[in-house]
């Protein structure tokens, strides 16, 4: 299924061909003539192009997919993976941040707490949700809900998708740095299983603030980075348009992060990206969530926290001479 109305540059040859096939089909139906051989031939060609494009994605192309406006958001996944989702609002300190969503739900019949950044699915919703970039109160809401989960012994599922922390005056006034650090610190100490999934963009501190857990998973086209490729290119070469190069240099794909020992598993996406078949994506993700969560449920609290500490303690690369 082609996504309507939006196509990425590198997908253009495919989309063009698919459009031709549709036209021929329509024409054949209208004129009531048999063009099945022609259609079959073009379809074969389309499949071949599809294979070529999607099995050799560059890092930059993956980032385009991760940022695709039709990419499933937190609430899309929540609807497809969990049952009885009930949203809970507010940080009890300042306001309810619509860029961060959290609530209660059942995962395969088990009560869990779900949190994550929520991007808008159109311009209007994006404005309301600040393009999924939380303010400090968003992180504080997430933390409140996670602490509540720990109190009642519920596992936490954190779905991360954020371009980065919001650069704004109010965010600084209300202590964005402190909110991020506090999130990291408290998540590390919560005595309940935490499974984190980078579903789209893993943008630096804004991602890590809800990204500490016992299992860290990534969707195939998601990326997770210390800085945006654009920001990196600006600093390095004073030229944001060299972001594709910076993206390669930053080694920010799931495959890279597996090699660095940061990520435990990369979850396959439907060909062309999660947005091509959200339902199939949700099914795969649900299976991965359950499979990763189950072994954690048997661990006692102390063992869980020790393993979590050791997991992050090992991260880094240096020479000791």
Partner 1 sequence: MLKDLFKTKPKYITVRPPQELGTRQEPAEKRDIPDGLWVKCDRCNQIVYHKELSKNLNVCPKCDYHFRIGAKERIDSLLDEGSFHEINSGLTSTNPLNFPEYESKTKKSQKATGLTEGVITGTGTIEGQPLVCAVIDFGFMGGSMGSVVGEKITRAIEYATEKGLPFVCISSGGGGARMHEGILSLMQMAKTCMALNRLAAAGGLYISVLTDPTMGGIYASFASQGDIILAEPGALIGFAGPRVIQQTIRQTLPPGFQTSEFVLEHGMIDQIVHRKNLRATLGFFLKFHAREDKGGQAIG
Out of 180, 194, 243, 296, point to the residue binding partner 1 (CB under 8 A): 180
Q: Which two tokens stand for residue 160?
A: 């991360």
Does 208 contact partner 1 by CB under 8 A? yes
- Minimum CB–partner distance for residue 316 and partner 1 (Å): 3
Does 312 contact partner 1 by CB under 8 A? yes
Sites for partner 1 among residues 49-68 (CB under 8 A):
none
Q: Which stretch binds partner 1 (CB under 8 A): 44-52, 81-89, 169-177, 283-291?
A: 169-177
Q: In terms of Cα–Cα distance, which of 220, 221, 222, 224 is closest to 267?
A: 220
Q: Which stretch binds partner 1 (CB under 8 A): 84-92, 122-130, 251-259, 285-293?
A: 251-259
Out of 75, 217, 232, 282, point to the residue binding partner 1 (CB under 8 A): 232
Sites for partner 1 among residues 282-311 (CB under 8 A):
308-309
- Minimum CB–partner distance for residue 14 and partner 1 (Å): 31
CA distances from 120 to 61, 101, 273, 274 (A): 22, 12, 18, 16
**Kindly report the CA angle at 161 between 301 and 307, in degrees rounded to 5?**
20
Q: Which stretch binds partner 1 (CB under 8 A): 12-20, 59-67, 245-253, 267-275?
A: 245-253
Collapse the DSSP code of 279 into the 3-class scheme (helix H, G, I; strand E, B; otherwise coil) and give the result: helix
Say how far residue 238 (Cα) sits from the centre of its chain: 28
How many residues line the site for partner 1 (CB under 8 A)?
A: 53
Collapse the DSSP code of 103 into the 3-class scheme (helix H, G, I; strand E, B; otherwise coil) and give the result: strand
Out of 6, 27, 106, 260, point to the residue binding partner 1 (CB under 8 A): 260
84 Cβ contact partners less than 8 Å away, ≥ 6 residues apart: 104, 105, 106
Classify strands 83-87 and 100-107 as parallel, antiparallel or unpaired: antiparallel
Q: In terms of Cα–Cα distance, which of 310, 301, 296 is closest to 157?
A: 296
- Minimum CB–partner distance for residue 31 and partner 1 (Å): 55
Residue 194 backbone dihedrals phi, psi, to 5 degrees: -130, 125
d(CA 192, CA 151): 9
Out of 88, 249, 271, 280, point to the residue binding partner 1 (CB under 8 A): 249
Does 252 contact partner 1 by CB under 8 A? yes
Does 169 contact partner 1 by CB under 8 A? yes
Say how far residue 85 (Cα) sits from the centre of its chain: 19
Out of 54, 77, 82, 166, point to the residue binding partner 1 (CB under 8 A): 166
Q: Yes or no: say if 196 and 158 are a contact pair by the CB < 8 Å rule.
A: yes
Name the residues that contact partner 1, by CB under 8 A: 165-169, 171-178, 180-182, 184-185, 188-189, 204-205, 208-209, 211-212, 224-227, 231-232, 235-236, 249-252, 256-257, 260, 262, 308-309, 312-313, 315-321
């Amino acid at each position: 299924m082609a996504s309507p109305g939006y196509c990425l540059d590198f997908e253009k040859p495919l989309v063009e061909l698919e459009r031709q096939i549709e036209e021929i089909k329509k024409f054949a139906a209208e004129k009531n003539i048999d063009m099945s051989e022609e259609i079959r031939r073009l379809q074969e060609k389309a499949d071949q192009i599809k294979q070529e494009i999607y099995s050799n994605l560059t890092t930059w192309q993956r980032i385009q997919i991760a940022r695709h406006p039709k990419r499933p958001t937190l609430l899309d996944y929540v609807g497809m993976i969990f049952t009885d989702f009930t949203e809970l609002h507010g940080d009890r300190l300042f306001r309810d941040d619509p860029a961060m969503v959290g609530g209660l739900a059942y995962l395969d019949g088990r009560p869990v707490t779900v949190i994550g950044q929520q991007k808008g699915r159109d311009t209007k919703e994006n404005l309301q949700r600040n393009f999924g970039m939380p303010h400090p109160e968003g992180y504080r809401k997430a933390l409140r809900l996670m602490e509540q989960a720990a109190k009642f012994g519920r596992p936490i599922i954190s779905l991360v998708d954020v371009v980065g922390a919001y650069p704004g005056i109010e965010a600084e006034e209300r202590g964005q740095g402190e909110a991020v650090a506090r999130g990291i610190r408290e998540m590390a100490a919560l005595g309940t299983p935490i499974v984190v999934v980078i579903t789209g963009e893993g943008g630096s501190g804004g991602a890590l603030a809800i990204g500490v857990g016992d299992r860290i998973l990534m969707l195939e086209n998601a990326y997770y980075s210390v800085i945006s490729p654009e920001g990196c290119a600006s600093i390095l070469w004073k030229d944001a348009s060299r972001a594709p190069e910076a993206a390669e240099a930053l080694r920010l794909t799931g495959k890279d992060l597996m090699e660095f020992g940061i990520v435990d598993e990369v979850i396959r996406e439907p060909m062309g990206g999660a947005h091509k078949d959200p339902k199939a994506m949700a099914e795969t993700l649900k299976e991965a969530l359950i499979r990763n969560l189950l072994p954690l449920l048997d661990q006692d609290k102390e063992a869980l926290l020790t393993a979590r500490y050791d997991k992050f303690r090992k991260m880094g690369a240096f020479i000791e001479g």
